[in-house]
């Protein structure tokens, strides 16, 4: 009998919130960079907006760590090994096709449009980045082709319109290369200890290297070590991985603690509080939030908790969230010049903001829908039919 596909209800809804949060952040960030009134300057919302995009990405990271680890551990238990070829091909068929479409958009289509149509000069920050030839150098092209956009963005400060959001995809791909090897090497008993050790290493390294006295007196080699660590924030995926391990091996205990509506609402209150108010150092706050994101995941997938969010519309948005995340900067590039020209902020700020949000969100979702239905699904079907492991 064919094994039933493992599917956790509620995770697509979380993906939807993460993707929409990133769009919201980028809209306000772009408005601010073009000297348009933004919530980034608001007394009450500045911290929330400033961190919203990263928090959405961290939620994606924790989700990835949780799911990949859970599935790999089950696979190892059932077959006593990891089917590396199938694992990597599944990742390739799911990630690569859309990723390279985005590269074509970023390196070819966006510059062509910007230099062909004068209307795109109405967005100075976008046009300034496109006019910077260093962003389109051979180095930049190679870094993106070989899934190192995080290196391009953080190390070389290459900001590529339509593509720079792919930094997180690069981090996840680097994680996918390493993770099945590690799970294969460690025994069941040692796996959790390794996860905890890895998390401790990343957190302590970030604290150590952020001390001004230490950094100013470090050898060059150690500075390069810090740069590498900061480029691959695996601690967030590791938090998810710990959750995947615990959910597999201590499911009965987790189900009991995650079925309470009071725990659920308390958790949501804590998450919202930490997203709006900086209680701790930024890095610590992101780690604490990520642990709470893991708790939210564990509560969300508990079918015995009748209060967790279930929504067919949000679930579908989460289903196409990869496209939403990847396409939205291109949509912003298309939308902002027209809104700036025909509905300027100085004329009517409410209508300007309404137009920006309506067109960016609706066109992004529409584009992602068609991409998923007519392009990505082709490769997803190949992935699921030819390289299924569970």
For 150, 186, 207, 208, 226, the CA distances from 222, given in Å and listed in that order, are 20, 28, 14, 11, 6
Our CA dihedral for 103, 149, 174, 204, rounded to 10 degrees, sits at -160
In angstroms, the CA 141 to CA 360 distance is 27
pTM (two decimals)? 0.93
pLDDT at 341 over 50: yes
As a whole-number percent, the residues of the chain with pLDDT over 90 amount to 76
Taking residues 375-384, what's their average pLDDT? Answer: 96
Long-range Cβ contact pairs of 108-112 (< 8 A, separation 24 or more) = 109/162, 109/330, 110/161, 110/162, 110/330, 110/333, 111/136
Taking residues 320-324, what's their average pLDDT? Answer: 97
pLDDT tens digits, 281-306: 889 999 999 999 999 999 999 998 98
pLDDT at 43: 83
What residues contact residue 26 under an 8 Å CB cut-off, 6+ apart? Answer: 53, 165, 328, 329, 332
Residue 259 CB-density burial (10 A; 0-12 exposed, 13-18 middle, 19+ buried): middle
Cβ atoms 150, 232 nearer than 8 A: yes
In angstroms, the CA 272 to CA 45 distance is 12
In angstroms, the CA 373 to CA 152 distance is 31
Taking residues 334-349, what's their average pLDDT? Answer: 90
pLDDT at 122: 86
In angstroms, the CA 198 to CA 186 distance is 13
pLDDT at 2: 45
**CB atoms < 10 A from the CB of 112, how many?**
10
Cβ atoms 273, 238 nearer than 8 A: no
Taking residues 319-328, what's their average pLDDT? Answer: 97
pLDDT at 1: 35
pLDDT at 339: 94
**Mean pLDDT of the residues in the chain:** 91
Query: Where residue 216 falls among pLDDT bands split at 50, 70, 90?
Result: low
Cβ atoms 278, 47 nearer than 8 A: yes
pLDDT tens digits, 27-83: 999 999 888 888 888 888 899 999 999 999 999 999 999 999 999 999 999 988 999
CA-angle at 341, arms to 337 and 345, nearest 5° = 100
pLDDT tens digits, 237-256: 999 999 999 999 999 999 99
pLDDT tens digits, 50-62: 999 999 999 999 9
pLDDT tens digits, 11-22: 999 999 999 999
Least confident residue range of 6-15, 140-149, 213-222, 359-368:
213-222
pLDDT tens digits, 97-146: 999 999 999 999 999 999 999 999 889 889 999 999 999 999 999 999 99
């Amino acid at each position: 009998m064919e094994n039933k596909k493992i599917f956790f209800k509620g995770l697509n809804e979380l993906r939807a919130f993460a993707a929409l949060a990133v769009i919201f952040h980028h809209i306000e960030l772009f408005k601010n960079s073009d000297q348009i009134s933004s919530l980034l300057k608001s007394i009450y919302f500045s911290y929330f907006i400033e961190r919203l995009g990263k928090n959405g990405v961290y939620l994606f990271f924790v989700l990835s760590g949780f799911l990949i680890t859970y599935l790999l551990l089950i696979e190892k238990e059932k077959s006593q090994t990891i089917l590396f070829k199938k694992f990597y091909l599944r990742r390739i068929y799911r990630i690569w096709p859309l990723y390279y479409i985005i590269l074509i958009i970023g390196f070819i289509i966006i510059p062509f449009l910007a230099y062909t149509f004068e209307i795109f000069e109405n967005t100075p920050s976008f046009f300034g980045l496109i006019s910077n030839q260093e962003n389109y150098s051979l180095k930049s092209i190679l870094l993106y082709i070989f899934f190192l956009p995080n290196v391009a963005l953080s190390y070389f400060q290459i900001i590529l319109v339509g593509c720079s959001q792919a930094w997180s995809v690069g981090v996840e791909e680097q994680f996918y290369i390493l993770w099945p090897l590690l799970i294969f090497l460690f025994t069941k008993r040692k796996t959790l200890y390794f996860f905890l050790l890895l998390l401790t290493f990343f957190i302590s390294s970030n604290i150590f290297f952020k001390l001004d006295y230490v950094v100013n007196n470090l050898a060059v080699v150690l500075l390069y070590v810090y740069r590498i660590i900061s480029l691959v924030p695996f601690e967030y995926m590791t938090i998810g991985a710990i959750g995947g391990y615990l959910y597999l091996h201590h499911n009965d205990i987790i189900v009991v603690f995650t079925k309470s509506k009071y725990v659920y609402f308390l958790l949501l209150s804590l998450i919202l509080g930490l997203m709006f108010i900086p209680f701790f150092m930024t890095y610590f706050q992101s780690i604490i939030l990520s642990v709470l994101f893991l708790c939210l995941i564990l509560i969300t997938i508990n079918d015995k908790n009748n209060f967790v969010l279930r929504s067919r519309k949000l679930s579908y948005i989460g289903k196409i969230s990869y496209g939403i995340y990847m396409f939205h900067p291109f949509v912003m590039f298309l939308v902002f010049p027209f809104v700036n020209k025909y509905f300027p902020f100085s004329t009517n700020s409410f209508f300007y903001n309404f137009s920006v949000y309506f067109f960016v969100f609706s066109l992004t979702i529409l584009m992602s829908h068609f991409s998923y239905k007519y392009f990505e699904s082709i490769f997803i079907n190949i992935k699921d039919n030819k390289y299924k492991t569970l």
